[in-house]
Amino acid sequence: MAVAADLTHRLRQGAEYTLIPLGALVVSAALFSVFLLGLGKSPQQFFELMWRGGFGTAFSWQNTLQRAAPLVLTALCVAIPARIGLVIIGGEGALVLGGFAAAAIAIPMIGPVAAGSLPVALMLGVMALAAALAGALWIGFAGWLRHARGVNETISSLLLTYIAIAILYFFVEGALRDPGSLNKPSTPPIGAGAMLQPIPGTDIHWGLAAGALLAVLLHLLMTRTTFGFAMRVTGGNPRAARAQGLPVGGLLVAATMIAGASAGLAGFFEVAAVHGNANASLVAGYGFTGILVSFLARHNPIAILPVAILFGGIAAAGGLIQRRMGLPDATVLLLQGVIFVVLLASETLYGRIAWLQPKRSGAP
Amino acid sequence: MSRGPLSRRTLLTSVAASGVAASGLAQTVGTALAQTNITVGILYVGPRDDFGYNQAHAVGAAELKKVPGVKVVEEENVPETIAVQRSMESMINLDGARLILATSFGYFDPHMLAMAAKYPRVEFRHAVGLWDQAKHPQNAGSYFGYLDQAHYVNGIAAGLVSKTKKIGFIAAKPIPSVLRNINAVLLGARKNMPDATVQVVFTGDWSLPVREAEATNALIAAGCDVITCHVDSPKVVVETAERRGVMTLGHNASQASLAPRGFVTGAEYKWETIYKGFADNLAKSQKLPNWVRGGYDLDYVRNTAYGAAATDGVRRACDTAIAELKRGAPIFVGPIKDNRGNTVIPATLDNYAPPLEGINYLVEGVIGSIT
């Protein structure tokens, strides 16, 4: 009896976390349709194109998943610190610096790898480590500033982003510039043979798999380990956590380092699987879109996956919508904005819809 | 510094190729296209109405749309990421595009090259010369307009209208294509005003509106009474200068409407010449040239229609300079020293001479440093 009650409790709670966001999506679509009608465009055509461009065919799925891949990793950079009560918005900087570190550490290895005297896998491994470490130190620094100096981590992580971009430009346009990159300063390319190959049978790079794996691992870390429990307690009430003897400072720095490493890895995949070198193209805004994704996923690592795919799909369909409907690119941004606002507004519904509330049976 | 992407051989092929394109144009484009249906996909890195680089391409695309039988599909704000490859693929798979025009520098490597390898039956062309016959797919290529020729005309105008003999130049990055335009403005200005100077401020990136406005104000405070720039969108620079009551010279697209009082003329691309040439090749099932480049001689650049600040004398001098450029008159007349006193161009260079691709200096008379 208790087991069955527990199951319905879980199901209803699960339903709440699924139905409310889905309802919010429907409401956003309705609001956006009104906007389209105001412009004299057909909402039906819009959503058909959205489906076709984002999810309708095998090609659109690849398109969607490729665009989602970096978002998963940068969203994790927001979600993990959020569990401990920190609002980190500097994932862009960690991504840029991670990508730069990966490209920079590869420079002395490019020759040996091309000559066959050094295995490609070793170089890629070192690059990934360097990227994760650079990101971890960068965002970890914001966490440390918060703990040791009381600096607001939201502001410091944002400002650190601009410093990271400046560091990238400084080296890419100076000491580490490939002399062959005349009009677009870049680091030397790691070489086509050394690039990370896509997942077999697709065009999708391994960043998506890495993001999914990391999301699951971090979810387990947060929900199934004492470390995760300590982080959640700290997020709930830092003073109580400290009173319980939890190492709050260490936890803060650890959470931000995990976050930074995740965004740094996104930078590694951009360099190793997409660009082949580091240059200004790394600064593409993935870190900032990741903030949106994490908030919409309510900072739940598992929920980040579908939300990132939704955003990937919207971005993938954006081009088709521009081309077929003659709408400007900003249309898609507007849709994203409407979804964001409606989803945030729907937060107030949690716990207020009686039908979704489990009956508190078995209470003494 | 390496010598740049140009070798003598590629230069020669390019000249031959541009000849083909030009002769194709001379024939009636419309009739050849009337029966066929050609879809051309264009990708922009920013908004199409930015008063700058993207708008210049969008103007070309709009002209291309007027050609019967040609359908143009456009995508703006495509970042230089994997999004480029997917957008191109989407244009090919869903819209049936036969020609992809990649207008941003960073679209080429790796994105356009990857797609060209994957879709050998589709033609890909990239604005700015990076294509190399030895290394890159044969269904890919480059096209480019030499804007320094139009900037040289800007310089001619500046040398006639400036009272303070100081010209202000807001530049994005100290890379060869930008340095070449700065030098061209100085050389043009010194034609009529031998003691003219060009003062440069580098902002560090292609689009930094706040810093561009600050730089404009700083240059005006330093005594510059003519302002020009090489940034992605000159909108902020031109508007700021107009508000301060100084004269402006445009860049990339037409900014004439932003400065009804102070606008003189501007350096503009004329991409439609190239785009219509490509469409014509496709309609006639001809091989598209891989390398198309030129300036005034091939009608690939132009100067914006004269604004209110252009006197009759300025208009006459500019028209003359344009006519000379069309005949191939050189801009970089040797010997030329850089602004540190080293002789960088010992003897006169042709306007398409390979050494100009790798310019890494500011010529004597330019105040500023690239390091």
- Over residues A252-302, the pLDDT tens digits come to 999 999 999 999 999 999 999 999 999 998 999 999 999 989 988 889 999
Please, which pLDDT band fits residue A251 given cuts at 50, 70 and 90? Answer: very high
Residues A143 and A268 in one domain: yes
Peptide bond connecting B355 to the previous residue in cis, omega within 30 degrees of 0: no
Of the candidates B56, B60, B117, the one whose C-alpha atom is nearest the C-alpha of residue B85 is B117
pLDDT of residue A359: 61
On the question of pLDDT at B146 being above 60, the answer is yes
Domain contains A247: yes
Tell me if B353 sits within 8 A of B337, measured CB to CB.
no
Please, which pLDDT band fits residue B336 given cuts at 50, 70 and 90? Answer: very high
Interface test with chain A among B94, B113, B205, B211, by most A beta carbons within 10 Å? B94
Q: Residue A195 corresponds to which amino acid?
A: M
| A48-57, A147-156, A343-352: segment of lowest average pLDDT | A343-352
Residues A222 and A142 in one domain: yes
- Contact flag B83-A169 (C-beta cutoff 8 Å): no
Residues A171 and A278 in one domain: yes
Task: Write out the residue range of the structural domain in which residue A144 sits.
Answer: 43-326
Q: Indicate the residue of A66, A280, A329 with minimum beta-carbon distance to B76.
A: A329
Measured between alpha carbons, how far is B141 from B223 in angstroms, rounded to an integer?
44
Residues A28 and A175 in one domain: no
Q: Residue A293 corresponds to which amino acid?
A: V
Domain contains A343: no
On the question of pLDDT at B335 being above 90, the answer is yes
Measured between alpha carbons, how far is A133 from A343 in angstroms, rounded to an integer?
34
For B208, counting Cβ atoms within 10 Å of its Cβ (0-12 exposed, 13-18 middle, 19+ buried), the class is middle
- Contact flag A63-B86 (C-beta cutoff 8 Å): yes
Residues A85-89 have a mean pLDDT of 95
Secondary structure of residue B238 in the 3-state scheme: helix
Interface test with chain B among A199, A323, A327, by most B beta carbons within 10 Å? A323
- Contact flag A183-B73 (C-beta cutoff 8 Å): no
Domain contains A332: no
Domain contains A295: yes
pLDDT of residue A141: 97
CB contact A319 to B (< 8 Å):
yes
Residues A30 and A57 in one domain: no
On the question of pLDDT at A361 being above 70, the answer is no
Tell me if B114 sits within 8 A of B128, measured CB to CB.
no
pLDDT of residue A14: 74
pLDDT of residue B9: 45
Residues A254 and A271 in one domain: yes
Residues A17 and A65 in one domain: no
At B86, list the tokens.
Answer: 């997917």
pLDDT of residue B12: 44
Residues A56 and A27 in one domain: no
- Contact flag A316-B86 (C-beta cutoff 8 Å): yes
CB contact B104 to A (< 8 Å):
no
- Contact flag A323-B75 (C-beta cutoff 8 Å): yes
Q: What percent of chain B has pLDDT over 70?
A: 90
The CATH number of whichever domain residue A121 belongs to comes to 1.10.3470
| A101-110, B81-90, B142-151: segment of lowest average pLDDT | B81-90
Our measurement of the distance from residue B204's CA atom to the centroid of its chain's CA atoms, rounded to an integer in Å, reads: 19
Please, which pLDDT band fits residue A331 given cuts at 50, 70 and 90? Answer: confident
Interface test with chain B among A184, A321, A333, by most B beta carbons within 10 Å? A184
pLDDT of residue A3: 66
Q: What pTM was computed for the model?
A: 0.81
On the question of pLDDT at B13 being above 80, the answer is no
Measured between alpha carbons, how far is B58 from B234 in angstroms, rounded to an integer?
16
Rounded (10°) angle between helices A43-51 and A2-39: 120
Residues A195 and A148 in one domain: yes
Closest CA–CA distance from residue B130 to any residue of chain A (Å):
10
Measured between alpha carbons, how far is A315 from A241 in angstroms, rounded to an integer?
41
Tell me if A269 sits within 8 A of A70, measured CB to CB.
yes
- Contact flag B176-A183 (C-beta cutoff 8 Å): yes
pLDDT of residue A333: 85
pLDDT tens figures, A218-247: 999 999 999 999 999 999 998 999 999 999
CB contact A267 to B (< 8 Å):
no
pLDDT tens figures, B222-237: 999 999 999 999 999 9
Q: What percent of chain A has pLDDT over 70?
A: 96
On the question of pLDDT at B25 being above 60, the answer is no
Residues A302 and A357 in one domain: no
Domain contains A335: no
On the question of pLDDT at B6 being above 50, the answer is no
Closest CA–CA distance from residue A307 to any residue of chain B (Å):
18
In b/e form, how buried is each residue of A82-112, taking b as 16+ CB within 10 angstroms?
bbbbbebbbbbbbbbbbbbbbbbbbeebbee
Instruction: Give the chain B residue whose CA is nearest to the CA of A54.
Output: B90
- Contact flag B90-A53 (C-beta cutoff 8 Å): yes
CB contact B79 to A (< 8 Å):
yes
Q: Edge to edge, what strands does the sheet with B38-43 contain? A: B70-75, B38-43, B99-102, B123-127, B140-145, B291-294
CB contact A182 to B (< 8 Å):
yes
On the question of pLDDT at A360 being above 80, the answer is no
Domain tally for chain A?
2
Domain contains A344: no
pLDDT of residue B27: 44
How high is the mean pLDDT of chain B? 90
Our measurement of the distance from residue A340's CA atom to the centroid of its chain's CA atoms, rounded to an integer in Å, reads: 16
Residues of chain B neighbouring A169 (CB-CB closer than 8 A): 204-205
Cβ–Cβ pairs < 8 A, chains A and B: 87
CB contact B94 to A (< 8 Å):
yes
On the question of pLDDT at A6 being above 80, the answer is no
Residues A31 and A60 in one domain: no
Residues of chain B neighbouring A276 (CB-CB closer than 8 A): 109-110
Q: Indicate the residue of B76, B91, B357 with minimum beta-carbon distance to A328.
A: B76
Domain contains A331: no
Domain contains A336: no
Residues A125 and A73 in one domain: yes
